[in-house]
Structure 1
Amino acid sequence: MHILIIAPEQNPVPPSVGGSVEHCIYQIAKKISPIHRVTILSKLRGHLPAKSIHGHITIYRVTGKSKESYLTQVLRAVKGKHFDMIQIDNRPRFIPMVRQCFPRTPISIFLHSTTFISSSKTSAKQALSDLGKANLIIGNSLSLQNHVKRKFPSLQHKVHHVHLGVDLNQFILRKERIRTKVSPFVILYAGRLTPIKGIPVLMKATHLVKKSIPSARLVLAGGAGKSSYKRHLQQVASSLRIPVTFKGAVSRGQMPQFYRSGDCFVCPSQGHEAFGLVNVEAMASGVPAVASKNGGIPEIIRHGHNGLLVSKFRSPEHFAREIIKIAKQPSLAKKLTHQARKDVTAKFSWRTTARKLEKLYAVKAKTYK
């Protein structure tokens, strides 16, 4: 097969910092079998060239100040070319124009969240119209698949899910950390600094943890969409009198070391977390994970088996209770981390993700011949 992947208009593929969707695109493409050809269209930005070739992958990067102008440049770049399958990532509004240019090619929309099918970005009527022009609708979790089916019941027959993965060679199991009485207990968070991610809840939980674990400190990795929100978080930390380090946006290459620097990883998401890739990365790195029981996270973390889940995830007290378990029960932490690595290795590698997509696409492409 020759697969075309159209990335969103924001970041290049591969991204050096942030760009979780573009990161997933690149990692999946690398693991697609080399018997297939993959062409990726993404944003031209930074030091990356307009065209690069990596084995069976060809990446074109184009300009565009808006979504519309970007998509126009994308379609201009692939005009006249033949593809067996087209994958659009996280931009349902791209589907109609792509369908117009490729009326006889099967199109897959790979959704990474509910954002671009929600009222904040589009109407239900428009989303239904856009998704209806795709042949496959793929969510990155069973939770997202079920959300789409409930919202658009007429499209149920098109909807599937394929879990994301992690680079098991990059995110390796760290050596067991030996803490002394004077060693700090480091709580990690990675992700965007936005209200829906629940960072104030985590800060309040850290304040409570410090009553039992005085050395507890919080380290946050991630950029803020608005500088005013970062200032708000700094004020919250100051009012709670907890030590917080804001590392800002951490490069992809530095993330494995970031995870290995902590004693506990916390994902306190307050809204629907479609998958939660950061949890998988932490688990692969041997860091005990504590996360909100929402969205697709329970598909990754099983409470007491390979991590800890917080059902009442709006409560700092409930997060603090689970974090303290990790700090005070080394045998539990060790058990969770070793099981987590086993589970990630078995279920959440990028090769597993790519293999599932290949099977879906091979069946769909065959029906179009």
Structure 2
Amino acid sequence: MKLAFICTEKLPCPAIKGGAIQILIDGVSPILSKNYELTIFSIQDPSLPNREKRGRIEYIRLPSGKRYPEAVAKELGKGNYDVIHVFNRPKNVPIYAKAAPKSRFVLSLHNEMFAKEKISAKEAEEAIRSVRTIMTVSDYIGRTIVKRFPSAKNKVRTVYSGADLSTFIPVWSKEGIRIREKVRKKIGAEGKKIILFVGRLSANKGPHILIKSLKYLLNKHKDVVLVIVGGKWFSDNSIDGYVRSLHKLAKPFKKQVIFTKHVAPKEIPKYYLAADVFICSSQWQEPLARVHYEALAAGLPVITTKRGGNAEIVKHKQNGIVIKDYKNPKAFAEAIDSLLSNPQKAAKMAQKGRQFVKTNYQFKHVAHRLERVYLEAVGGILQ
């Protein structure tokens, strides 16, 4: 079978600049390419050739911008692909289907791309007709599609993401402990209790709430440090109004808030190992942030918000804590305190989280679920 993956026009593949979609593709492509011919389309980057083969995977990188879909479509016409997997761009599916009429199409959605402000009813219905399956990263995203377009109900299917356990080694392992101490020394947080945030610095992600929570937390835990990993937008470390406001908010806490700026994707796992608690403070209806899989895989107790799909994999008081009062800094402080004050409870949650990923949310599991979708698209049967 010949497969094609079509990335969005935002970031290159492999995930040299991050991106949940690109990281997912990096995780499943070596597994899928053992049995299938795989071509990955993404945008160009100065550090990558426009065309290359890595093992059994072919990469075709095209100029970014408005002409990207047309450039991809032109290439598709040359390929005779059995299945074409379009990532997060339902608007582009009809363009690609016209270029490759004999191919079967599947679409995966990582955000609310069927919302009114993203796509017209006419465009959406055309996209739905053009695909065999619409995979969503969470049940939440699936519900948003069906609510607006009941015609999609029989095509929508949740396919959860995952993590690479060989990359996210557990914090309690010998190697994990060694890396932990090295990173703590690097950021100047030796002997501290580290609360970790990883993500874009935007109001939707809520790091401002975490900074505000320190006012309550420091009364009991004076050795706490909040480490904020991320830039304004993936690899972009420029300062906008919101980032400026975060630094202003953090100023009274001095060395108890550490901004690392953007960290290269391959270095991110080391920061999980340095932490004691991981927090996803999403304020918006989060589709289901992949940082949850990463933190669970690294063996960290996780605190998240009951927004969007987050609570679908973080189970309250089992492998983490789910906060309903997500706008309240005090609610975060109380959740953090409950873990820092009960290390045995925190360790138990962390171990359950690691096991949760190990049993069903490694990239090999994700690849298997994707393979099932692809074979169903062409009428095949998974052995």
Give 1:138's aligned residue.
135
Residue 85 of structure 1 and its aligned partner are, at CA, apart by: 0.5
Give 1:95's aligned residue.
93
- Give the alignment of 1:211-290 within 5 angstroms: 211-225=219-233, 227-238=240-251, 243-290=256-303
Letter paired with 1:6: I
Among 128, 149, 153, the alignment partner of 1:152 is 149
SS in 2 for 1:49: coil
- Give the alignment of 1:1-369 within 5 angstroms: 1-32=1-32, 34-64=34-64, 66-67=65-66, 69-114=67-112, 116-175=113-172, 183-225=191-233, 227-238=240-251, 243-366=256-379
In structure 2, what is the Cα distance between the partners aligned to 1:27 and 1:285?
16
- Bigger shift: 141-150 or 327-336? 141-150
CA displacement, residues 264-313 of structure 1 (integer Å, 9 cap, x when unaligned): 10001011111221011011111211111222222211111111111211
Is the contact between residue 17 and residue 250 of structure 1 (CA under 8 Å) also seen in structure 2? no
In structure 2, what is the Cα distance between the partners aligned to 1:120 and 1:150?
15
CA displacement, residues 285-342 of structure 1 (integer Å, 9 cap, x when unaligned): 1121111122222221111111111121121111111100111101001101111111
Identity within the alignment, %:
28
In structure 1, what is the Cα distance between the partners aligned to 2:152 and 2:169?
40
SS in 2 for 1:220: strand
TM-score, normalization by structure 1: 0.93
Unpaired stretches in structure 2, ≥5 consecutive residues: 182-189, 234-238
Calculate the aligned-residue CA RMSD, in Å: 2.0
In structure 1, what is the Cα distance between the partners aligned to 2:315 and 2:244?
35
Residue 74 of structure 1 and its aligned partner are, at CA, apart by: 1.5
CA displacement, residues 15-39 of structure 1 (integer Å, 9 cap, x when unaligned): 2222221221221212225111111
In structure 2, what is the Cα distance between the partners aligned to 1:210 and 1:127?
49
Residue 136 of structure 1 and its aligned partner are, at CA, apart by: 1.4
Residue 241 of structure 1 and its aligned partner are, at CA, apart by: 6.0
In structure 2, what is the Cα distance between the partners aligned to 1:231 and 1:278?
24
Letter paired with 2:89: R
SS in 2 for 1:247: strand
Is the contact between residue 207 and residue 242 of structure 1 (CA under 8 Å) also seen in structure 2? no
In structure 2, what is the Cα distance between the partners aligned to 1:234 and 1:297?
27
Residues 297, 132 of structure 1: alpha-carbon distance in 2 compared, 3 angstrom cutoff: same
CA displacement, residues 81-104 of structure 1 (integer Å, 9 cap, x when unaligned): 211101010111111110111223
CA displacement, residues 335-367 of structure 1 (integer Å, 9 cap, x when unaligned): 011111111111211111110111111011127
In structure 2, what is the Cα distance between the partners aligned to 1:112 and 1:354?
16
Is the contact between residue 4 and residue 40 of structure 2 (CA under 8 Å) also seen in structure 1? yes
Give 2:186's aligned residue.
none
In structure 1, what is the Cα distance between the partners aligned to 2:34 and 2:24?
18
Is the contact between residue 105 and residue 377 of structure 2 (CA under 8 Å) also seen in structure 1? no
SS in 2 for 1:366: coil
In structure 1, what is the Cα distance between the partners aligned to 2:366 and 2:158?
10
Letter paired with 1:174: V
In structure 2, what is the Cα distance between the partners aligned to 1:342 and 1:257?
19
In structure 2, what is the Cα distance between the partners aligned to 1:50 and 1:70?
13
Q: Count how many residue pairs are aligned between Structure 1 and Structure 2.
A: 362
Is the contact between residue 33 and residue 57 of structure 2 (CA under 8 Å) also seen in structure 1? no
Letter paired with 2:99: C
In structure 2, what is the Cα distance between the partners aligned to 1:133 and 1:242?
54
SS in 2 for 1:41: strand
In structure 2, what is the Cα distance between the partners aligned to 1:339 and 1:33?
31
Residue 239 of structure 1 and its aligned partner are, at CA, apart by: 5.2
Is the contact between residue 207 and residue 241 of structure 1 (CA under 8 Å) also seen in structure 2? no
